[in-house]
Chain A
Amino acid sequence: MTAHPPQYPAQALPNPGWGPLSALPGNPLMWVLILSEMLVFTAFFALYAWQRAADVAGFNAAQQALDPLVGGLNTLVLLSSGLCVALAVEAISRDRRRRARQWLAASMALGVLFCVVKVVEYADKFAAGVTPDSHLFFGFYYGLTAFHFAHVLFGLGLLALVTWRTSTDNVETAAAFWHMVDLIWILLYPLIYLLR
């Protein structure tokens, strides 16, 4: 009996020697991080959905203070940044280091744009007197988006690091983290901004 399905012989696996993780592309530990982050955010999203169900009118009234178009704009920015980082992986895999760095720089520029839009949004809310204490909805809004924002900042640091130390493994690992940040936002955006 073999440890892997017949169509995936051990020598053909992306990461031989990593046990169950050996069938995942890229750095296996990054996948552990992605899975754990997804579980953490899923728990927060479930908590939000539960609390909203207990106070639909209050959550809906509070949600009106947000601008879903700004959230949508940031979604488009982050998805485009994800494309740039994926193209950086393609470039470095063909040993086109300079092109990979250019794509990484483009993805970081878009990541910074995401941060600028988010900071302007936060400033606008605080100027209007909307704080995490204003309503439970805003506690979730600030908590979830700020937690995600922290991931964006960390991701930008990682991208800067691999732009400096450019290798296939490094770029793949940073790209996986960046795509995870993208994935979380894709799930967060409709929950906080769209569903009412």
Chain B
Amino acid sequence: MIQLPGTRRLLATWLTLMALTLVAMLSARLDQDSWEPLPLVSALLVLMVTGFKAQRLLMVYLNLRAATPAWKGTFVGLVILTLTLIGGGYLAPRLVG
């Protein structure tokens, strides 16, 4: 029998995910009227928050914590690869000039 996350862990994860979504929105400066490209720090924070949210969703909502380290690594690795590609495409024009 698989050990499910339990109601308390699910609620804690949901609160974390909601809070991190708000952090991402604030990092993207949605509270400001002016529309300008994000500072690099803000963009990196958005990506890191997104990665952590995806990891929490995989481990708790999808209960991947009950799987072997190899499977955990595979899925988390794919999320990291995705965010690296997104971040790379975002950063490349800024770094090149």
Contact = CB atoms under 8 A, between A and B. Distances in A.
Contacts of B88: 49
> At the interface, is chain A mostly helix, strand, loop or mixed?
helix
Interface residues of B, number: 54
A75 B21 contact: yes
Contacts, number: 150
Nearest to B50: A190
Given A23-B68, A72-B25, A191-B86, A83 B43 contact: no
Given A14-B2, A14-B66, A182-B57, A53 B92 contact: yes
Interface string B1-41: 01011110011011001100110110110100001011000
A196 B25 CA distance: 12
Interface string B66-82: 11111100110011011
A48 interface: yes
Contacts of B89: 46, 48-50, 52-53
B83 A24 contact: no
Contacts of B4: 89-90, 93
Interface in A170-186: 176, 179-180, 182-183, 186
Interface of A: 4-5, 8, 14, 23-26, 34-35, 38-39, 41-42, 45-46, 48-50, 52-53, 56, 60, 64, 68-69, 72, 75-76, 79-80, 82-83, 86-87, 89-90, 93, 176, 179-180, 182-183, 186-187, 189-191, 193-196
